[in-house]
Amino acid sequence: MRIEQFYERSEALADPYSSRVDDQYETRARLDPVVYSDPLKDGMALTAEQKQAFERDGFLILDGAFTQDEVAGFNQELNRMARDSEFLSAAPTITEPLSGEVRSIFEIHKVSPVFEKLALDRRIAGAARDILNDDLYIHQSRLNYKPGFKGKEFFWHSDFETWHVEDGMPRMRAVSASILLTDNRYQNGPLMVIPGSHKTYLKCAGRTPDDNYKRSLKVQEVGVPDQENLRRMTEKGGLVAATREAGSLVLFDCNLMHGSAGNITPFPRSNTFFVFNAMSNQLMKPFGPEKARPEFLAEQRPKKISF
């Protein structure tokens, strides 16, 4: 039975992951698996030990997943895209709120043959398949830039909370894959995660304004955790910064609490993100606002990945 049929046939069932419905923050236990395949068996791209680490921590870092020659090719394409005014005017592009520098470019797998090929690479898509154990599609893709001196922070958040409320993703059966295109150092705003936080869902306070994405992609203010719950999660799980060399791959669960600080150093930081969702977990009507976010943020016409 598809997940939307389950909801349609159970009208009295309360949304287990409701959020932004009142002024209260609340933690709830995760109801969904983390690794959907057998964690004791090697998969297409991940070993049993790697799957078990992902299950435990909610993330996995694979050093040197891509060669330096491959990374050079990705950066060449990245620089071409960032400097092509015609491309930037056509692609879904978000700029920094103050400097006007490019912050994110979306749908990169649709507009760039280089990044389309990267998204389908078995080192990435195969790893996502090992975790989700289902046919997959790309829910979202983007390039995140943090230019030297001007790159702003991404505040703490669970992606699933937003994807559930604003996009209509029913359950936690999605995984993000980030390829580091530059060295990510402690100083230039690397991805930070709270290990184990993926096993707790944090219901956020407040309501979702219309077209919230227009502001949240620049400065996130809605759907963010409160300080007390962040403190508790960090005291329990600790804090890890994904400081690795270019070419490393970071996989993380859709509900893992993560964020990154601003970049006031001269060293730019650029990473790609590909979000893989299970075909059985396709989007429904948003669980919050009536109006769904644009398709460049949440794929409405899934195309199954072929392996």
Q: In 3-state terms, what secondary structure has residue 56?
A: helix
- pLDDT tens for the chain, 307 residues: list them: 455 544 444 433 589 999 999 999 999 999 999 999 999 999 999 999 999 999 999 999 999 999 999 999 999 998 887 777 776 676 677 766 666 667 788 999 998 999 999 999 999 999 999 999 999 999 999 988 887 887 777 889 999 999 999 999 999 999 999 999 999 999 988 999 999 999 999 999 998 887 776 666 555 677 889 999 999 999 999 999 999 999 999 999 999 999 998 888 898 888 999 999 999 999 999 999 888 899 999 999 999 999 8
User: Is residue 45 situated within a structural domain?
Assistant: no
Question: Which residues lie across from 182 on neighbouring strands?
Answer: none
Assessment of whether the complete model's pTM goes beyond 0.85: yes
Separation between Cα atoms, residue 126 and residue 140, nearest integer Å: 17
User: Is residue 287 situated within a structural domain?
Assistant: no
The Cβ-side half-sphere exposure at 3, using a 13 Å CA radius, reads: 16
User: Is residue 292 situated within a structural domain?
Assistant: no
Q: In 3-state terms, what secondary structure has residue 42?
A: coil
Q: In this structure, what token pair is assigned to residue 124?
A: 């990435």
Give the sheet arrangement for strand 258-260, strand by strand. 154-157, 258-260, 191-193, 240-241
Separation between Cα atoms, residue 95 and residue 109, nearest integer Å: 19
User: Is residue 291 situated within a structural domain?
Assistant: no
Evaluate whether 268 touches 143 at the Cβ level (below 8 Å). Answer: no
Separation between Cα atoms, residue 38 and residue 120, nearest integer Å: 23
User: What integer pLDDT is reported at residue 217 of this predicted model?
Assistant: 58
Evaluate whether 220 touches 305 at the Cβ level (below 8 Å). Answer: no
Look up the domain containing 166 and give its range.
54-281
User: What integer pLDDT is reported at residue 12 of this predicted model?
Assistant: 37
User: Is residue 58 situated within a structural domain?
Assistant: yes
User: Is residue 241 situated within a structural domain?
Assistant: yes
User: What integer pLDDT is reported at residue 7 of this predicted model?
Assistant: 47
Cα dihedral sign, 87-90-94-100: positive
Give the residue from 140, 155, 145 showing the smallest Cα distance to 100.
Answer: 145
Separation between Cα atoms, residue 14 and residue 249, nearest integer Å: 37
Q: In this structure, what CATH number is given to the domain that contains residue 127?
A: 2.60.120.620
User: What integer pLDDT is reported at residue 213 of this predicted model?
Assistant: 64
Domain count, the chain: 1
Q: In this structure, what token pair is assigned to residue 160?
A: 């699933």
Please report, to the nearest 10 degrees, the dihedral formed by the alpha carbons of residues 237, 242, 248, 253 taken in order: 40
Please report, to the nearest 10 degrees, the dihedral formed by the alpha carbons of residues 260, 265, 270, 276 taken in order: -10
User: What integer pLDDT is reported at residue 93 of this predicted model?
Assistant: 76
The 10 Å CB-count burial string (b at 16+, else e) for 81-106 is bbeeeeeeeebbbbebeeeebbbbbb
Q: Radius of gyration of the chain from Cα atoms?
A: 18
User: Is residue 29 situated within a structural domain?
Assistant: no
User: What integer pLDDT is reported at residue 22 of this predicted model?
Assistant: 93
Q: In this structure, what token pair is assigned to residue 20?
A: 């932004």
User: What integer pLDDT is reported at residue 282 of this predicted model?
Assistant: 98
User: Is residue 113 situated within a structural domain?
Assistant: yes
